[in-house]
Every structure is written in C-alpha cells, then in structure tokens.
C-alpha cells in the first residue's frame, strides 16, 4: 500500500515564518529589556553603595575635626618643631586661611574651600603637585576640597614611636606636636599620652574616560600619599554649622567659600552637612537626565542632558571637639 507524503505549501510556510519571526522578535526584545533593566538596577545599586561608603568615610573624619583627646584647648607652647612645609602630594591654598610655611600644622590644616576649572578656591588659588594626581586626572570642577587635622584615636606606647612619623603628646593642660626622631622632651610631660597625628585632604579627581573618584592625601611617616578612596564620586560638598552666640548650636550653615579662618580657631564650627554625588562611569543613552541634584544651597544640574546616571546622598553630623589653639 502506497502512502502519500504531505508537506507545507507556500502559504503555510510563509505563515509559519512570520509567526516565528514575531515570536523571536518578542523574545529578543524581552531579553534585551530584561538585561537593560538588570544593568540599570545594578548601576543604581553600585552608585548607592559607593555614595554610602564615601559618606561614611567623610563623616568619620569630619566628625573628628579638632579631636585632641583630653587636651583642654590651652595654647601649645612648642609648635616650631617640626617644620612641616608643603611638599609632594600636598594640597594647600596659596593665600588666605593657610599659612603656607606650616601648612600642615593643626592650626592651619583645617579648612574647606571650593575648586573650579581654573584651579581656584574662592579668592585663593590652589597649590598642588600634579605628579601626585592619578595619571591624566584633574581636580573636579565645583567640588569642595577639605583638609582635616586631628589625632588618631589609638594611644601609642613610647617604645612603639616610629622616627619618621608625627605624634601629639597630650595631657589635660598641655599638647605638643613632635616628630618621632625629635621628641623634644614631649614624652617626659607628666600624665602624657601619645597619639598619632593625622592629616587628611579630601578632593575629587576626574578623568575623560575613567570617570570620577574621591581621593585623599594622607600625611603619613613624613610623606604625602595619594589614595583612591571611592570610585564614581563626582562631587562632594560640605556646609558647616556656625555657632555665633557660643551656645553650642549652629545658628546658620555656611558654604565652603564663606567659612573663615576665625571660625576654625574660635571653635565656632559645631556641625556639618555633607553631600556626596555619585556618577556612573558609562553613559546610559536611554536616560533623559535633566534632574537638578539639589545640594540644598547649591543646586547642580547636569549640562545638556549628559546621559550619566547619578545618585545623591546627604547627612548632617555634630562636631563636639575642642579646636586646638596654636601659638606660632
């Protein structure tokens, strides 16, 4: 018995091809949308984590501004040794709030100022050794630069003092900054405790293709080092709460350009509002990014819808430390 073999005719074949193409297009579109959505969610999550990490690091340091343990705030009698001058990997304003001869001493190392494209900060120009920046990086425009001097909260035994490092010998009535190889009798003071001296300068570096990064200059063992703190940080801004009537509470918040040397020296800075703006490394062409990232007093709007995804995080911290009064 002979059986007849049947197949698709031309019309049936064309219908099957159309249905297959539609199904394939739908599946492909769904796959692409799912992948894009996953990538965007991952980008947002990473930006949140990086902004939180940057904010955590800044909060820890800013909260400790003027931290000198049990020192009561009396004037330091011996501050001329060592003579810490601006050197490689240091960043200081050329004029204004900082004495460039001893730019990293406690009295002059605390400051916050705004950077711009011309490497100017407020009315002061900025001095920076560019070899200390990451390759092909520049200081980010319109982001604050903050310099912080304090002690690190771990007591150092006299036997553990390192010759190249800097320390502060502290008692309730006296404090003396010294280098490990020249203590100048600081370690012989009654009831003295020795703490490592810490000086950090935070700023943002930007690169045309590698994106932006929060960096920190650290004064360690007599030299300055440039450390990458957190990637994808585009701007930092810090407003300080100023106490004008000595009641321990901020009467107003001043932007970086309006914070003066007298505010640091006279213990008027009692709080800080810190803003961190994170930016994705790569553009998202599907993102219509014209959002104003309002850092309260200083709104920031991306230029010409630049298609970068961003995340803004902010917090307020209380500063309760006595600022060190220095006699130079």
- Record the tokens describing residue 143, joined without a space: 């982001």
Q: What is the largest CA-CA distance in the chain?
A: 119
Nearest one of 288, 123, 312 to 235, comparing CA atoms: 312
Q: What's the pLDDT at 274?
A: 94
- Residues 300 and 263: their CA atoms lie apart, in Å, by 27
pLDDT value of residue 96: 46
Dump pLDDT digits (tens) for 290-316: 667 665 546 666 766 778 888 889 999
Q: What letter would DSSP give residue 2?
A: P
d(CA 117, CA 243): 32
Distance CA 185, CA 49 (A): 47
Give the whole-angstrom CA distance, residue 286 versus residue 305: 11
Query: Residue 41 is inside which H or E element, if any?
Result: helix 10-63
Q: Which residues of the chain have a pLDDT value below 70?
A: 1-8, 31-40, 72-105, 107, 116-132, 220-224, 290-291, 293-301, 303-304, 322-328
Distances (CA, A) of 229 to 16, 214, 226, 242, 256: 58, 6, 9, 28, 21
Tokens of 135: 């390759």
* Burial (Cβ within 10 Å: 0-12, 13-18, ≥19) of residue 41: exposed
Angstrom distance (rounded) from CA 255 to CA 114: 9
Tell me the C-alpha distance between 41 and 54, whole Å.
Answer: 20
Going by C-alpha positions, the residue among 66, 76, 124, 68 that lies closest to residue 98 is 124
Q: How many CB atoms neighbour CB 21 within 10 A?
A: 10
* Residues 134, 135, 136: CA angle, nearest 5 degrees: 110
DSSP summary character for residue 161? -
pTM here is 0.78
First to last CA, the chain: 117
* Residue 148: Cβ within 10 Å count: 21
Q: What is the pLDDT of residues 53-69, one digit of tens each?
A: 999 999 989 988 878 78
């Amino acid at each position: 018995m002979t059986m007849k073999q049947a197949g698709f005719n031309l019309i049936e074949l064309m219908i099957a091809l159309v249905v297959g193409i539609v199904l394939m297009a739908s599946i492909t579109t769904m796959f692409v949308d799912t992948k894009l959505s996953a990538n965007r969610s991952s980008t947002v999550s990473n930006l949140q984590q990086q902004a939180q990490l940057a904010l955590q690091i800044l909060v820890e340091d800013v909260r400790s501004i003027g931290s000198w343990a049990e020192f009561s705030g009396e004037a330091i009698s011996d501050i001329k040794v060592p003579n810490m001058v601006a050197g490689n990997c240091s960043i200081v304003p050329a004029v204004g709030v900082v004495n460039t001869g001893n730019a990293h001493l406690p009295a002059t190392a605390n400051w916050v100022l705004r950077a711009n494209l011309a490497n100017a900060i407020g009315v002061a120009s900025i001095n920076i050794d560019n070899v200390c920046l990451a390759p092909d990086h520049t200081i980010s425009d319109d982001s604050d630069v903050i310099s912080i001097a304090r002690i690190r909260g771990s007591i150092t035994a006299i036997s553990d003092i390192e010759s190249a490092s800097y320390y502060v010998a502290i008692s309730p009535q006296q404090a003396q900054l010294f280098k490990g190889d020249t203590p100048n009798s600081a370690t012989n003071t009654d009831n003295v405790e020795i703490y490592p001296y810490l000086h950090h300068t935070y700023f943002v570096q930007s690169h045309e293709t590698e994106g932006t990064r929060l960096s920190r200059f650290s004064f360690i063992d007599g030299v300055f080092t440039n450390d990458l703190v957190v990637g994808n940080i585009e701007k930092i801004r810090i407003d300080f709460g100023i106490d004008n009537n000595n009641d321990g509470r901020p009467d107003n918040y001043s932007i970086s350009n309006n914070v003066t040397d007298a505010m640091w020296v006279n213990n008027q800075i009692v709080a800080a509002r810190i803003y961190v703006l994170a930016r994705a490394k790569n553009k998202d062409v599907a993102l219509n990014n014209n959002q104003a990232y309002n850092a309260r007093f200083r709104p920031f709007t991306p230029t010409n819808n630049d298609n970068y995804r961003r995340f803004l995080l902010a917090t307020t911290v209380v500063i309760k430390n006595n600022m060190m009064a220095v006699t130079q």
